[in-house]
Amino acid sequence: MIAKEGYPYIAFFITIAIIIEKVFDVYWSILPAVLGLYVTYFFRNPKRNVIYDPELVLAPADGKVMSIEKIFEDQFFNGPAIKVTIFLSIFDVHINRIPVEGNITFQNYICGKLKPAYKSSAPFENERHAIGLENDNGMKVMIIQVAGILARRIVSWVNLGDRVQQGQRYGMIKFGSCTEIIMPINVAVSVAKGEHVKGGKTIIGRITPDNK
């Protein structure tokens, strides 16, 4: 499966490859053809068998865990929380998924700069889109899509007030990025810094009895 956002890029490179092959030589059409294949690979949208479990918080994206830290979140939690930052390389699947079932009760988009997503300042200065989820037990989880240096637009397929399912595809970030997930302070984190996770598959945290 290919995300529809990739169709214009794929069509562009295929068209360029065909034109170059007709006007010049097939040899010169190899580069745009390879770029077209890569773009097709980048916008892949694989189907995944999601674990539906209200006790679990699933990874919102594929990528490498850059950091796990305690923070004070002043937009949605208005209090202490745990933030896990996941860096998505240009070879990772860039589809984002919902970590817990619930309602979207917070949404905020900021049009910012385009610094490399692995820079510590990127989450504060780059283009980003945040959604806050609240489940039926009142537990809150926040996901933030952060654009990278190659990214040009964050894509979201959900809106404020939507009811979303665990593992549901909700958006993507084009060409390099990072995704942050912010959870209550007493969620037991199940991943470590440097670990590679998969959206909708890897368990990021477990909800403790105090969170119910």
Predicted confidence (pLDDT) per residue in 171-204, tens digit = 988 776 789 999 999 899 999 999 999 999 999 9
Give how far the C-alpha of residue 86 lies from the chain's centroid of Cα atoms, to the nearest Å: 8
Q: Report the distance separating Cα 15 and Cα 152, nearest Å.
A: 22
Q: Is there a domain that residue 48 lies in?
A: no
Between residues 166 and 30, which one has the greater pLDDT?
166
Q: What is the pLDDT of residue 163?
A: 96
Same domain assignment for residues 103 and 203:
yes
Between 69 and 22, the more confident residue is 69
User: 81 and 38 share a domain?
Assistant: no
- Claim to verify: residue 28 and residue 67 sit in the same structural domain: no
Beta-carbon-side half-sphere exposure of residue 77 (alpha carbons within 13 Å): 20
Residue 148 has what pLDDT? 66
- Give dist(CA 100, CA 140) in Å, integer: 9
**C-alpha pair distances (Å), 186 with each of 89, 144, 151:** 30, 20, 33
Q: pLDDT tens for residues 146-178? A: 876 655 578 889 999 999 999 999 998 877 678
Two structure tokens written together for 26:
């097939």
Supply the pLDDT for residue 10: 87
Within 10 angstroms of residue 140's Cβ, the number of other Cβ atoms is: 22
Q: What is the pLDDT of residues 74-97, one digit of tens each?
A: 999 999 999 999 998 888 888 999
Print the domain residue range for 13. Answer: 4-42
> Does 51 fall in a domain?
no
DSSP, residue by residue, 137-150? T--EEEEEEEE-SS
Give percent of the chain with pLDDT exceeding 90.
45
Phi, psi of 25 (to 5 degrees): -155, 155
Residues 142 and 186 in one domain: yes
50 within domain boundaries: no
The radius of gyration of the chain from alpha carbons, rounded to an integer in Å, stands at 19
Based on the residue annotation, tell me whether 177 is a catalytic residue of this protein. yes
114 and 197 inside one domain? yes
pLDDT of 117 above 60: no
Domain shared by 24 and 98, yes or no: no
Of residues 121 and 156, which shows the higher confidence score?
156
| CA–CA gap between residue 115 and residue 156 (Å, rounded) | 20
Residue type, 201: K
Same domain, 123 and 196: yes
Q: Which of 67, 120, 121, 177 is catalytic?
A: 177
